[in-house]
Structure 1
Amino acid sequence: MKQESMNRGGIGQDGLKQDGASRDVSMLSRRAVAGLLCVVALALAGAGVGMWRSLGVGGLSDYADHVVMFGDADLRLPPELAGATGRVRVVHFWDPGCAACNKETGAHLNYLIQMYRGAKVDFYSVQRPGTRGELPPFLRGKLEPLPRIDGMEKLPASPSVAIWAGDGRLAYAGPYSEGLICSSANSFVEPILDRLVAGERVEPQPMLSVGCYCPWNAVN
């Protein structure tokens, strides 16, 4: 009887030890899983920051709340480009120092050039006076540089664009788009170009816009 009692007692102690070991293993497993989740969360956060910066969005925060009134109907093309030429003329106004905003707009402009390659659309560029810099490599040779446009001192901000219809009338002067990132999804330009290429008339309208813009008219 005593031996049997001792055996039962031994089994009970072993059982307690096994239960304790199981709890320890379970706790270690939970800790390991929690640690792994932390590592994954940190990795995802790092990837998100990297993507944020690579897209240029991180650098746009300084410009995101800029409200700009565009209404520059006094812009005039140089005499050699003006008039009823039958071709739509697009003039890109840019400032090399506005790198954060230029990044997305440059990609959008490159898309526009490719999109309207077969249409009667010509692309020009005007650099902010008093600045130095070059267009990104993927835009070089695709826009004819102009020294200035009459009336451009009234432009409130860049990047911006002015569009003349085939009959020589100014059809649009303002931003490429509204919002933090410029793309064809929120563009003002494609609908206007489509109408002009189709022979429709478009009148310039004042526009209040919020987005990624840098001052233009501070430099004479």
Structure 2
Amino acid sequence: MSPRRKTLIGWLLAALCLAGLLSTYWWYEKRYIRPFSHQPQLFSGDHLMLPAELAGPGRIRLVHFWDPACPCNVGNQQHLAELIARFASQGVDFYAVQRPGSHGQLPDTLKAMRTLPTLPSAEQLPASPAVAIWDAQGNLAYVGPYSEGAVCTSSNSFIEPILDALVQGRHVQATHTLAVGCYCPWISTAK
């Protein structure tokens, strides 16, 4: 085989390898990166209400909105389990609402949460994972993400300070939140 032909074959193999790498990257990006957004999300709680059986004065109520197919849930599930362990004994009840039309189960560490089929007007949420918290008087105190950024931990969470304030009987009203983080669309996929 001539040196010129060997060089040509080498370049063709290199081009095929590059094409394979690029197609793998595009597949990965479409499958795992595009489903969630690092775009700013505006969470507004004007429309959210508790179901009639939970409305009114009582314990503090935290509602976790999640989509089983969203890769962003992985980052906050351990944090949510820590919140349950810390605040359940301090007068906080934990509920979960799954994105309508989705299928999945909460991990065993979150089985203590009660499942709600939905909340009135929950379809208007922009993204998940998200959380809504009602104070002991039944007023919406917070709606928005668990934190800002790609992952959620107690060090960057918005939730601990809000729950601490509510447990201490202080008033909180943070029902409009703009944040950038790991979110999956809720509105566009809800039916």
Fold conserved (TM > 0.5)? yes
Residue 65 of structure 1 corresponds to 38
Secondary structure of 1:80's aligned partner: coil
- Return the offset for 1:62: 6.4
Question: Larger Cα Rg: Structure 1 or Structure 2?
Answer: 1
Secondary structure of 1:186's aligned partner: coil
Q: Does residue 142 of structure 2 align to residue 154 of structure 1?
A: no
- Return the offset for 1:179: 0.1
Specify which of 109, 121, 135 is matched with residue 138 of structure 1: 109
**Moved beyond 4 Å, runs of 4+:** 59-62
Q: Work out whether residues 90 and 124 of structure 1, in 8 Å CA contact, stay in contact via their aligned partners in 2.
A: yes
Q: 1:105 to 1:61 in 2, by over 3 A?
A: farther
Secondary structure of 2:155's aligned partner: helix
| Higher share in helix | 1
Q: Work out whether residues 45 and 140 of structure 2, in 8 Å CA contact, stay in contact via their aligned partners in 1.
A: no
Residue 148 of structure 2 corresponds to 178
Residue 24 of structure 2 corresponds to none
Range with greater deviation from structure 2 (89-98 or 130-139): 130-139
Secondary structure of 2:132's aligned partner: strand
Q: Does residue 61 of structure 2 align to residue 89 of structure 1?
A: yes
Specify which of 146, 155, 168 is matched with residue 198 of structure 1: 168
**Gaps spanning 5+ residues in structure 2: where?**
1-31
Q: Which has the higher contact order (CA 8 A, sep 6+)?
A: 2
Q: Deviations over 1:67-125 (max 9, x none)?
A: 1111122210011110011x100000000110x21111111100100111320100000
Secondary structure of 1:185's aligned partner: coil
- Opposite residue 120 of structure 1, the aligned amino acid is G
Q: 1:203 to 1:136 in 2, by over 3 A?
A: same
- Return the offset for 1:203: 1.0
Residue 157 of structure 2 corresponds to 187
CA distance in 2, matches of 1:65, 1:75: 24
Q: Work out whether residues 60 and 101 of structure 1, in 8 Å CA contact, stay in contact via their aligned partners in 2.
A: no
* TM-score of the aligned structures, taking structure 1 as reference length: 0.69
Specify which of 77, 98, 102 is matched with residue 106 of structure 1: 77
**Root mean square deviation of aligned Cα:** 1.5
CA distance in 2, matches of 1:138, 1:118: 16
The number of aligned residues is: 159
Specify which of 120, 124, 128 is matched with residue 99 of structure 2: 128
- Return the offset for 1:63: 3.8
Q: Deviations over 1:174-193 (max 9, x none)?
A: 00000011111110101000
- Opposite residue 57 of structure 2, the aligned amino acid is A
Identity of aligned residues (%): 50
